[in-house]
Chains A and B, each alone.
Chain A
């Protein structure tokens, strides 16, 4: 029953997100008319509205605290300064939290994708007792909101003594049934002939998986990895609950303490926000195409 919740809306979308993300010219739409001018104007207004918060945060972060707290002007009376940044970097823990964020997000992504791909391959290709039951359980689990589990998960962390440890921070974030489902759907579509040929030649299942299936699945593995990485990088609730030790905090959690610590230091608040946002935005600028493709592919349920 719960299976349908997940599969039915996605079923019609098996061809989704294949299109290139290049410019989307439609034949016949290239003429310049009043319609295009209006559309262009609306786009510009929307883009400004979406970029303005960034711009305002950057400008504020470059002000002195006095200027930031005196008026909402774009040009500070006393000129621009990097003071807030040097203050934040010198007094705060942002470099440490960045390292923690990279570490946790990388480990979570690696574990999620590795365990998920193996399981998805088994669900898609191998015949074993209980396969159907596990498949249904995993698909049904997609609907379980992680927020509903915070109490038992925290209770478990207390029992395992993993509160305020990397283990307690990382391991509970390594379950992504939706990603298993997406990968299994992808493996279902990989032609089986290559694998069968290799099996006839005596290759083991693991060998087939490693040297035939995985190379064929690079795009979907990249998509899933990107999605998992971004979710892990930005995850707030669980790291916030399980970590109290400042030296173990990830960027999103650490930033929450900055707000209360710096209080009304607006320039420093914005400098912290920019510094915390920077790593992922830089990665995005370099891998824009792959990230956009990865997010839309995963969001549309694979393929």
Chain B
């Protein structure tokens, strides 16, 4: 963000605009005016609702500001020092990482399996696509209402289904051993359709010739899957992984809604904790500090992912 503002000539790759970089000063001023005229509407929103909150949040994290308006004195690093010794915060971060791991694996593998199966060209294409993608169109509250009902210990569909096999059901959402798994199950149902669509789009871009050539060489279906399809999908898998991990780290809605605000230490996610300290504990300053610790975590995870995947995909 600290790049010099006059180095436009250096960005030849970023678009044809660079070609005209060396005009006379007057033209230059004119085009700068035009540029900002086009940028202005977006920049108003960008500065007001993104840049400013980012900056102000940093400031708040160094104060004892409360939601009720009291406080607001600068208290240095106290919030951060408190956060680093706050076992609830570390618990929330660990839960978030655990949820991310538990949800990302099935969300990538099931999406891939769905896309591969649909891509085989079996009948009723529209039906498969509809079934797998439709849940993604639902609001989190709709998903939570439906799954809270499915998970109902005595009347829910899941336990009554298990009962027909003589398996005794569990209290999915209430039992701390199962609540995180339940959240993951509902999440997979809800959002796998998005990854499925990305895989399907990528599959349709693999040229048929590759399969034809492989078939001529006597490669069987499984061979083709592992030597053509999966490698060709690698960039998509990298993208899906990155998007999915980022999305999973931000989990809030399902946990807050499904657990009906009775969140336990084993299900509290980072964003849930940010929400709790800020809006039920009224501690805006402390909540901001946790927000930035969480933000740092997201950046670290992204960088780690990038390092781990860039070698494979590029």
Contacts and interface: CB of A to CB of B under 8 A. Distances in A.
A233 B42 CA distance: 21
B45 interface: yes
Nearest to A273: B145
A254 to B, nearest CB: 8
A264 to B, nearest CB: 10
A153 interface: yes
A205 B32 CA distance: 12
A207 interface: no
Interface string B63-103: 00101010000000000000000000000000000000000
Contact of B146 (A11, A53, A148): A53
Given A47-B132, A51-B131, A276-B141, A30 B201 contact: no
Interface residues of A, number: 127
Contacts of B60: 151-152, 155
Interface residues of B, number: 133
Interface string A234-253: 10110001000000000111
Contacts of B16: 124-125, 188, 192
B125 interface: yes
Contacts of B156: 72
A208 to B, nearest CB: 11
Contacts of A19: 201, 204-205
B128 A43 contact: yes
B32 A129 contact: yes
B146 A152 contact: no
B170 to A, nearest CB: 15
A20 interface: yes
A28 B314 contact: no
A251 B143 CA distance: 13
B140 A133 contact: no
B275 A150 contact: yes
A24 B236 contact: no
A280 to B, nearest CB: 5
A143 B117 contact: no
Contact of A280 (B32, B67, B137, B246): B137
B146 A119 contact: no
B38 A9 contact: no
A174 B49 contact: yes
A300 B34 contact: no
B314 A12 contact: yes
Interface string A275-303: 01100110010001000100111011100
A211 to B, nearest CB: 15
Contacts, number: 385
Interface string B227-258: 00000000110110011001001101100010
Nearest to B215: A28
Interface string A121-159: 111111111111111111011011101111111111010
A127 B31 contact: yes
B79 to A, nearest CB: 12
Chain A interface mostly helix, strand, loop or mixed?
A: helix
Contact of A116 (B42, B131, B292): B42
Given A8-B314, A273-B142, A56 B205 contact: no
A26 B119 contact: yes
A133 B252 CA distance: 33
A266 interface: yes
A13 B239 contact: yes
A241 B279 contact: yes
A152 B67 CA distance: 11
Given A129-B6, A131-B17, A299 B118 contact: no
Given A56-B157, A115-B42, A9 B313 contact: yes
Contacts of B51: 137, 141
Contacts of A20: 204
Given A127-B8, A273-B146, A46 B117 contact: yes
Contact of A72 (B145, B160, B189, B211): B160
Interface string A68-88: 110110000000000000000
A300 B150 CA distance: 33
Nearest to A301: B239
A47 B128 contact: yes
A5 interface: yes
B141 A236 contact: yes
A169 to B, nearest CB: 12
B139 to A, nearest CB: 4
Contacts of B292: 148
Interface of B: 1, 3-8, 10-11, 14-18, 20-21, 23, 28, 31-36, 38-39, 41-46, 48-54, 56-57, 60, 65, 67, 69, 113-114, 117-122, 125-142, 144-150, 152, 155-157, 159-160, 189, 194, 197-198, 200-205, 208, 211-212, 215, 221, 235-236, 238-239, 242-243, 246, 249-250, 252-253, 257, 260, 271, 274-275, 278-279, 284, 287-288, 291-292, 294-295, 298-299, 302-303, 306, 309-310, 313-314
13 contacts: A29-B211, A50-B132, A124-B15, A127-B23, A128-B32, A128-B34, A132-B5, A140-B1, A147-B291, A152-B52, A251-B141, A280-B137, A299-B198
Question: A-B pairs with the 6 shortest C-beta distances?
Answer: A128-B35, A19-B204, A119-B42, A122-B38, A152-B53, A72-B160
Given A148-B291, A259-B148, A300-B236, 10 more contacts: A15-B205, A46-B132, A47-B128, A127-B18, A151-B284, A180-B42, A259-B257, A269-B149, A277-B142, A300-B201
